[in-house]
Amino acid sequence: MSLKIAVFISGRGSNLNAIIQAISDKTLDAQIQCVVSNDPEAPGLLIAKQHGLPTFGLAHKGMKRREHEEKILEHLKQYEIDFVVLAGYMRLISPEFLQHFKDDGGFYRVINIHPSLLPSFPGVSGYEDAFNYGVKVSGVTVHLVDEELDRGTILAQVPFPRFPDDTLTTFSARGLSVEHALYPAVLQTIAKEGVKLTPKHKVEAKK
């Protein structure tokens, strides 16, 4: 099926651009319904607008998380969305938000890409933390989002090497190139096959 997605960004939107390119190249069967950002000035929103995509920028400063998310959810009601795709979205997603995307298959239809081989180096500075630790190999993880930070079911991981003469800049750039190939590929697998989880991975229904 053609996957209908809302892409959430906070910054320059490089993964958004990779997804747009994959759709254009017909290697990803998806439709971007809306691009959402918690920064109305995020450069990635300009990328979206240049491609004629609907955008919604809403600053989170001065707002409680619940109020901010409710306004986003209200905006998204006008679209049919199969998955929320977090692509450099630097805000934690609340359990209340996730409940709006609970799937009958036992998971939340929210996906994230993270710049490390989880469970190592969770959080906002994966590349920097891995580099400073001195890893010989790092990587990129695509995972389902659940109530715990960077702990959701892993859908795919791809490693990449650290070279002796690497700087943080060259190390991070190598990781970004992996991200830009991996994220569209995982989304295409979901478009073709859906998400298949073992019973231990399924989200328990809230009582």
| Catalytic residue numbers, as ranges | 114
For the chain, give the secondary structure using H, E and C: CCEEEEEEECCCCHHHHHHHHHHHCCCCCEEEEEEEECCCCCHHHHHHHHCCCCEEECCCCCCCHHHHHHHHHHHHCCCCCCEEEECCCCCCCCHHHHHCCECCCCCECEEEEECCCCCCCCCCCHHHHHHHHCCCEEEEEEEECCCCCCCCCEEEEEEEECCCCCCHHHHHHHHHHHHHHHHHHHHHHHHHHCCCCCHHHCCCCCC
